[in-house]
Amino acid sequence: MIVSENISKIYNSTTVLEIEKFEIKKGQSIGLVGNNGAGKTTFFILLLDLIQPTTGTIINNGIVVSESDSWKNFTSSFIDESFLIGYLTAEEYFYFIGELRGQNKADVDVLVNQFSDFFHDEILGKKKYLRDLSKGNQKKVGIVAALIGNPEVVILDEPFANLDPTTQIRLKEIIKELTQNNAVTVLVSSHDLSHVTDVSDRIVVLEKGRIVKDLETNAATLTELEMYFSKSMSLI
Amino acid sequence: MFTRILKLEWKSFFRSANFTKGIAIKIFLAFFALYLIALFIGLGVGAYFFVANAVPTVDPLLTVCRCVVIWFLADLLLRFFAQKLPVLNSKALMVIPVKKKTIIHYLLLKSNVSAFNIIPLFFLLPFSVVLLVKGYAVANVLFWLLSMVVLIQVNNFINFIINKSNLYFYVIFSVLATGVSLQYFNFYDVVTPVGDLYFSLYKQPFSVLVPLSLLVLFYVVNFKHFLQHFYLDDGVLSKKEKEVTSSEFLWLNRFGDVAPFLKNDIKLIWRNKRPRMTVIMSLVMLFYGLIFFTNPMYVEGNSVILVFASIFITGMFLMNFGQFVPAWDSAYFNLLMSQNISMRQYLNSKRILLLLSIGLLTILSVPYFYFGWKIGLLLLVGGVYNAGFNIPVLLYLCTFNKKRIDLEKSAMMNYQGMGFAQWLMIVPMMLVPMGIFGLVNYLVSFSIAVGVLFCLGVIGLVFQNYIFSKLVNVFKKRKYVMVIGFQQK
């Protein structure tokens, strides 16, 4: 589904990302982990063509992302609050995204209502602008909006951060449901090792822009990851 | 503790975005400040002589004192809408071991260092000097000056308390409203006795104690109110949240695939301070035409200035709002660039919005046709020229935009988002058509000159799709620069 070749990003002679070959199969759910500055977000925004790679290309479903816009039809994402329109209410925002993704109001309502437990009655029908919601509630809106319009690739940067425990558990269910039939490819980054191993088939560990581990998830993965990160702590 | 907070303040000033702005804006702002200062000094020096001429029977100082009544009222009105209490950083200070009282004293004192309080000095000081030269008693003049300065500070604190407390707002509002209506309906002349009171501040130097005690009174009132309400969810630090009514704008659906963006742009304008003020200014500027179209000197004389007026009036929104495309969307630019839309669709929605605005402003300027066929013709041609020629020029210049815009800041004196392109804009959009028109008008005739501008506009409209495709490609190349630039706060 997603192939990146020889991709690198260099800012003022500092290499923030350097990955030779990286391939993600359709329907896989990938978890990116790594400390701050490891290059997780950089990889995501390269994939979204928001920055230009210094070298290499990323191909999403056969489309070179920097050459054509057509990957946008099947790719959706929530990276940070710059993906929210602050002066809209949650409903207006969902409908706006729906219109962009060819969904009518009824379609959007059906989808959004599936997540009413996700919202704890704090978001829908509140007549509040998104900019006046709390950080956690903003995040919920962004994540749900990324699921509108049956995307085939979903990219979520740090989706578990700032969420309350109930919603974290619900989000894990949602991600598992998405990848159940191998229809949707999900890319998630997280600092929470246990959440990310719960939802991912494959865990990729980044350190200073390089892939240092690439694991198929199994029962031992969490321990291995914990070992790895406590070791890198002792090295410092 | 005070010195520490002052140090913070120093840093926040010199590290602020304002201070690190481009050199052109700094120079412009400096000139503007100098202009204002010069204006007030001139007023201060000239007021005495002007008033002595206008009302020769009365002591000029007394006349000025009566004018001061109206000045202070206008000052309070202006402050009420424009001056906000500085609350920056206080959130961070609330949780560290600084006494609440210290912070509040600091905030209140800081409010004294405001243009509203400083600019009047540029009037009062030269005016007092003139009084001294004219032989008024030295001590009396100095105490009168002191009283005036203190009264300005009183206004400063009255403004905060009526902004924050409904009770004080209604009390002070009813007192002032009573006074104004008594005066306005000629029941009772309020200005004269109050002006005489200000004059007695000159005659009886010791009466400076009255304004001083007023100052202390309002300071204490503010202080007590703030101390009681110094919590995050209370009126002092937070703004009130209003319930939102959503609207659908279904009639915009006729614009097809750009409809979602047009709807969004209308919400953008309606719900955010800066774009809203921009639109209001565009509408107010419609009246600008009265200056030109009613003046026989312009109407009879060469018509270049009328061309300026027509392009200006019909293109006000184009220039005011259009200059910051796509920076208006800077806060969520990443979303738009990764959502399922093409750059072409996105820019086309902006282009249609600008076209609609020109159409609307041209229709609204129809009453000016009353001033003659010449003016009517020029307004229509101005609209066509804006639509065909100026829109592509503006959109091209917009590809240089890469500065973020905060939608919730006021548009007045706001230079955020200004760059080189904004300064350059005036040349092709205003001066070029004026030059072409002036030249042809001079060499050939008025009707041919109008025809040339009209044709330029029409040519632009005929080739708009071709030009637009080129523009989209330029925007695509600039996208990455914009993404980075719009993230920088």
Three-state DSSP at A129 gives strand
Please check whether residue B234 lies inside any domain of the structure: no
Same domain membership, residue B260 and residue B213 = no
Asked if residue A178 is part of any domain, the answer here is yes
| Residue owning tokens 């560990």 | A205
User: Has residue A209 been placed in a domain?
Assistant: yes
Same domain membership, residue A161 and residue A125:
no
Q: Give the model's pLDDT for residue A172.
A: 92
User: Starting from the edge strand earliest in sequence, which strands make up the sheet with A153-157, in order?
Assistant: A75-78, A153-157, A185-189, A29-33, A202-207, A210-216
Which tokens go with B333?
């630019």
Q: Are A127 and B243 in contact (CB under 8 A)?
A: yes
Determine the Cα–Cα distance for residues B324 and B409; give it in Å rounded to an integer. Answer: 14
CB < 8 Å from A in window 397-416 of B: 407
Share of residues in chain B with pLDDT > 70 (%):
90
- With respect to residue B238, please indicate whether it lies within any of the assigned structural domains: no
B17 band by pLDDT with thresholds 50, 70 and 90: low
Residues A13 and A54 in one domain: yes
Assigned domain for B137 exists: yes
pLDDT recorded at residue B69: 87
Q: Same domain, yes or no, for B335 and B482? A: yes
Q: For residue B118, is it within any domain?
A: yes
pTM above 0.80, yes or no: no
Nearest-5° Cα angle at B82, B81 to B87: 110
Q: Does residue B239 form part of some domain?
A: no
Contact B343 A69 (CB under 8 A): yes
Omega before A53 within 30 of 0, i.e. cis: no
Mean pLDDT of B301-306: 81
Which pLDDT band holds residue B87 (cuts at 50, 70, 90)? low
- Strand ranges, E, within chain A: 2-11, 14-24, 29-33, 55-60, 63-64, 75-78, 153-157, 185-189, 202-207, 210-216
Mean pLDDT of A64-70: 89
Q: Of B194, B228, B262, which residue sits at a domain end?
A: B228
Kindly tell me if the per-residue pLDDT of A58 is higher than 60.
yes
Q: Which pLDDT belongs to residue A123? A: 85
In which band, very low, low, confident or very high, does the pLDDT at B239 lie, cut at 50, 70 and 90? low
φ, ψ (nearest 5 deg) of residue A191: -95, -10
Same domain, yes or no: B67 and B138: yes
| Domain contains B355 | yes
Model pLDDT, residue B89: 57
The span from the CA of B106 to the CA of B94, in Å, is 13
Query: Is there a single domain that holds both residue A183 and residue A142?
Result: no
Q: What is the pLDDT of residues B440-449, one digit of tens each?
A: 988 998 899 9
E strand or H helix at B466: helix B464-487
Q: Which residue has the higher pLDDT, B246 or B346?
A: B346
User: What is the percent of chain B with per-residue pLDDT over 90, rounded to a whole number?
Assistant: 28
- Considering the domain architecture, whether residues B422 and B454 belong to the same structural domain is answered as yes
Contact A149 B340 (CB under 8 A): yes
Q: Which of A99, A117, A151 is the last residue of a domain?
A: A151
What's the pLDDT tens digit per position in B371-390? 888 889 999 999 999 999 99
Look at the block and give the residue holding tokens 């001083």: B212
A161 with A226, same domain? yes
| Range from A165-174, B81-90, B144-153, B236-245 carrying the lowest mean pLDDT | B236-245
Please check the confidence at residue B41 and state whether its pLDDT lies above 80.
Answer: yes
Residue B269 and residue B204 in one domain? no
Question: Higher model confidence: residue A226 or residue B4?
Answer: A226
Answer yes or no: do B394 and B358 share one domain. Answer: yes
A154 versus B410: the higher-pLDDT residue is A154
Report yes or no on A80 lying in a domain.
Answer: no
Q: What is the mean pLDDT of residues A180-188?
A: 89
A160 and A64 belong to one structural domain:
yes
Given A94, A120, A151, which residue is the final one in a domain? A151
For B205-213, the CB contacts below 8 A with 24+ separation are: B205/B139, B205/B140, B205/B143, B205/B144, B206/B143, B207/B147, B208/B143, B208/B146, B208/B147, B208/B150, B210/B147, B211/B147, B211/B150, B211/B151, B211/B154, B212/B150
Distance from CA of B114 to the nearest CA of A (A): 30
pLDDT at B288: 83
Residue A79 lies in a domain: no
* Total domains in the fold of chain A: 2
Residues A68, A158: one domain?
A: yes
Same domain, residue pair A170 and A216: yes
Q: Identify the band that residue B420 occupies on the pLDDT scale cut at 50, 70 and 90.
A: low
Categorize the per-residue pLDDT at B95 as very low, low, confident or very high, splitting at 50, 70 and 90: confident
Q: Are residues B162 and B291 in the same domain?
A: no
In this structure, is residue A204 part of a structural domain?
Answer: yes
Q: Looking at A151, A177, A202, which one is the last position of a domain?
A: A151
pLDDT band per the 50, 70, 90 thresholds, residue B419: low
Q: What CA–CA distance (Å, rounded) separates B418 from B404?
A: 9
In chain B, which among 259-318 make CB contacts under 8 A with chain A?
A: 259-260, 263-264, 267-268, 271-272
Classify residue A203: in a domain, yes or no.
Answer: yes
Placement of tokens 């050199």 in the chain: B23
Number of compact structural domains in chain B: 2
B452 assigned to some structural domain: yes
Tokens of A96: 């706006």
The owner of tokens 């002589």 is B49
DSSP-H helix ranges across B321-429: 333-338, 343-364, 373-385, 391-398, 420-424, 426
A129: closest chain B residue by CA: B244
Q: What is the mean pLDDT of chain B?
A: 84
Looking at the structure, do residues B282 and B334 belong to the same domain, yes or no? yes
A11 and A127 both lie in a single domain: no
Nearest chain A Cα distance for residue B143, angstroms: 50
Confidence band, pLDDT 50/70/90 cuts, at residue B233: low
User: Touching check for A234 and chain B: CB below 8 Å?
Assistant: no
Q: What residues make up the domain containing A147? A: 86-151
Band the pLDDT of B23: cuts 50, 70, 90. Answer: low
Instruction: Give domain status of residue A205, yes or no.
Output: yes
Say which range, B105-114, B165-174, B348-357, has the weakest mean pLDDT: B105-114
Q: State residue B475's pLDDT score.
A: 93
Q: What percent of chain A has pLDDT over 90?
A: 59
Q: Are residue B349 and residue B465 in the same domain, yes or no? A: yes
Confidence check: pLDDT of B242 > 80: no
CA distance A140 to chain B (A): 16
A49 CB within 8 Å of a chain B CB: yes
Q: What are A93-108's pLDDT values in tens digits?
A: 999 999 999 898 999 9
The DSSP code for B474 is H
- Reported as a pLDDT band with limits 50, 70 and 90, residue B412 is low
- For the CA atoms of B106, B108, B112, B115, the dihedral, rounded to the nearest 10 degrees, stands at 100
Question: Is the pLDDT reported for residue B294 higher than 90?
Answer: no
A189 in a structural domain: yes
Smallest Cβ–Cβ distance between A89 and the set B244, B342, B487 belongs to B244
- Type of residue at B267: K
Confidence bin at B407 (pLDDT 50/70/90) = confident
- Whether residues A230 and A185 share a domain: the answer is yes
* Structural domain range at position B121: 2-228
Sign of the torsion angle spanned by Cα atoms B275, B277, B283, B289:
negative
Q: Do A87 and B271 touch (CB under 8 A)?
A: yes
CB contact under 8 A, A128 and B241: yes
Nearest to A79 among B263, B334, B342 (CB): B334
Angle between helix B259-271 and helix B343-364 axes, rounded to 10 deg: 60
The radius of gyration of chain A from alpha carbons, rounded to an integer in Å, stands at 18
Would B243 be classed as within a structural domain? Answer: no
Residue B333 confidence (pLDDT) above 90:
yes
State the DSSP string of B228-258.
HT-STTSTTTSPPPPPPPP---GGGGGGGGG
Residues A69, A156, single domain; the answer is: yes
Q: Do residues A26 and A197 lie in contact, with contact meaning Cβ atoms separated by under 8 Å?
A: no
One domain, residues B296 and B198: no
Whether residue B283 sits in one domain with residue B217 = no
A162 and A102: one domain? no
User: How far apart (Å, rounded) are the C-alpha atoms in residues A208 and B321?
Assistant: 43
What CATH number did the domain enclosing A165 receive? 3.40.50.300
Q: Lay out the sheet containing A55-60: strands in order across.
A: A14-24, A2-11, A55-60, A63-64
Residues A97 and A69 in one domain: no
Q: Would strands A153-157 and A2-11 be described as parallel, antiparallel, or unpaired?
A: unpaired
Of the candidate ranges B171-180, B242-251, B460-469, the one whose mean pLDDT is the lowest:
B242-251
* B358 confidence band (pLDDT: 50, 70, 90): very high
Structure token digits, residue B411: 């548009």
- Based on the domain organization, do B273 and B404 belong to the same domain? yes
**Chains A & B: contacts with CB separation below 8 Å:** 82
